[in-house]
Amino acid sequence: MAHDRATSAEHFWMPFTANRQFKGSPRLLERAEGMYYTDTDGRQVIDGTAGLWCCNAGHGRREITEAVSRQIAQLDFAPTFQMGHPLPFELAERLAQISPAGLNRVFFTNSGSESADTALKIALAYQRAIGQGSRTRLIGRELAYHGVGFGGISVGGMANNRKAFGALLPGVDHLPHTLDLQRNAFSRGLPEHGAERADELERLVTLHGAENIAAVIVEPMSGSAGVILPPKGYLQRLREITRKHGILLIFDEVITGFGRVGEAFAAQRWGVTPDILTCAKGLTNGAIPMGAVLVDEQIHEAFMHGPESTIEFFHGYTYSGHPVACAAALATQEIYQRENLFQKAIELEDYWQDALFSLQGLPNVTDIRTVGLVSGIQFAAHADGVGKRGYEVFRQCFEDGLLARASGDTIALSPALIVEREHIDAMIERLADAIRKAG
């Protein structure tokens, strides 16, 4: 491998990676600063993906580094089971200030996957706590990604993430996805068509009875399956139907959280407040693993009954509210606020959209979807199979100095919110080149 320490590639079983292909010609990043990575050959690569949708304030933020080093020296770890330390209280209060109305009780996790599973467990336990114990069914959506825990893959809808793992959670249904190239290809912003796909929930209610359904979980915008935007009115419709039937609505904002589509959360940008909201990634700018579940105070209140000596919710992680992660998150939130970064995706949205739409007409481009500071560029599948063209464009981009993300035959771009117009221009130029070369 191109690495100055003589390292064998054998031992690291890489996640979501074609291990043998990768190890044959590895892509190794060694440093990062602002909008750029430097690879182990010393080449600068524009980070078009904010790491993996997580470094929303850009790389190498000194304030985060310092907060983390100070904290690890002062208190490296403290338990939060029947014990505590000040930082998660401070962070939870801070998150409550930016969260959608009422979602001001915060449960900490270490990842998006744990946040999804935690949210599902809160939903089920809540229904039981209010005497609705028959509400055990969960509803996800086709093409959804909610991480890799058994809860998350059960409600998730990406076939490859599910099919090797046998029996998943029972009692799960899936709404139809909202990707519709025939009616919506090359829409600017949210697509016009597809709000009616939320009505499928009414069909499931008729089929199972509302009294058996606990919650619906969706990403307000699906990121991992290739940037699938909610049709106009779709999320509102889901909110109306869930409210009407006493079904909880969970938004998975692991990608959309912290300014990706403008505002702190997509819930605020699109004016729909769920009952529970999950986040991770941008919470700490990707610097230290951490996730959180923001819960409506009335849901939380339903747990706070019975003898005070009783543990109200038998759930938690050794590292829930880890001091170093909290320090990273607090420093990150300070940067977001001081630099007004959640507004950046709104300010740059038109420029970003125009830049992306300049790719329309290039070979094999079948759709461009964009909102805030995120985009999906979809290609016609190669005759040799689905995903081949997407991978080839991704590979070529990296060779040309742009980190993009391939999901099947869609390339996703989601730059840090510190991105400037000149970075956008450079990204689009490299991507256009890569698309032409990939053929």
Binding residues for ligand PLP (CB under 6 A)? 111-113, 116, 145-147, 219, 223-224, 252, 254-255, 280
Whole-number minimum distance, CB 210 to ligand PLP, in Å?
26
With tokens 């930082």, the residue in question is: 87
Alpha-carbon distances of 303 from 306, 308, 395, rounded to whole Å = 9, 11, 49
Given a contact cutoff of 8 angstroms between Cβ atoms, the answer to whether 142 and 217 are in contact is: no
CB of 95 to ligand PLP, least distance (A): 17
Looking at beta carbons only, is 219 or 275 nearer to ligand PLP? 219
Residue type, 163: K
Q: How far is the CB of 255 from ligand PLP (least distance, A)?
A: 4
| Distance of closest approach, residue 427 Cβ to ligand PLP, in angstroms | 20
How far is 105 from 117, CA to CA, in rounded Å?
A: 17
The number of beta carbons lying within 10 Å of the beta carbon of residue 84 is 12
Nearer to ligand PLP, 47 or 219 (CB): 219
In angstroms, the Cα distances linking 194 to 136, 248, 375 are 28, 22, 19
Six token digits for residue 55? 């470094």
Torsions phi, psi of 412, nearest 5?
A: -105, 140
**Cβ 119 to ligand PLP shortest distance, Å:** 10
CA distance 420 to 19: 34
Residues 6+ apart with CB under 8 A from 72: 323, 324
- CB nearer to ligand PLP: pick between 46 and 116: 116
Cβ at position 261, least distance to ligand PLP in Å: 13
> Which pair of tokens denotes residue 310?
């009783």
Residue 122 in tokens: 């809160």
Which CB, 57 or 205, lies closer to ligand PLP? 57
- Alpha carbons 244 and 406: distance in angstroms, whole number: 38
* Burial class for 21, CB neighbours closer than 10 Å (0-12, 13-18, 19+): exposed
Smaller CB separation from ligand PLP, 145 or 336: 145
In the complex with ligand PLP, the residue whose CB is nearer, 92 or 119, is 119
In whole angstroms, the minimum distance from the beta carbon of 312 to ligand PLP comes to: 25
Kindly give the residue spans of alpha helices, DSSP state H, lying in 138-231: 150-155, 181-184, 200-208
Tell me the closest approach of the beta carbon of residue 154 to ligand PLP, in angstroms: 13
Contact present, 46 and 414 (Cβ < 8 Å): no
> Could you give the angle at which helices 62-74 and 323-338 cross, rounded to 10 degrees?
150
Residue 247 · residue 214 · CB < 8 Å: yes
Question: Which residue is associated with the tokens 């130029």?
Answer: 429
Q: Report in angstroms how near the CB of residue 183 gets to ligand PLP at its nearest.
A: 24
Alpha-carbon span 18 to 21, nearest angstrom:
6
Measured from each CB, the residue nearest to ligand PLP is 112
Say how far apart CA 280 and CA 116 lie, in whole Å.
10
Smallest gap from residue 413 Cβ to ligand PLP (A)? 15
Which of residues 255 and 341 has its CB atom nearest to ligand PLP in the complex?
255
Q: Which is nearer to ligand PLP, 129 or 293 (CB)?
A: 293
- Nearer to ligand PLP by Cβ, of 175 and 210: the residue is 175
How far is 267 from 273, CA to CA, in rounded Å?
Answer: 5
Q: 129 or 248, CB closer to ligand PLP? A: 248
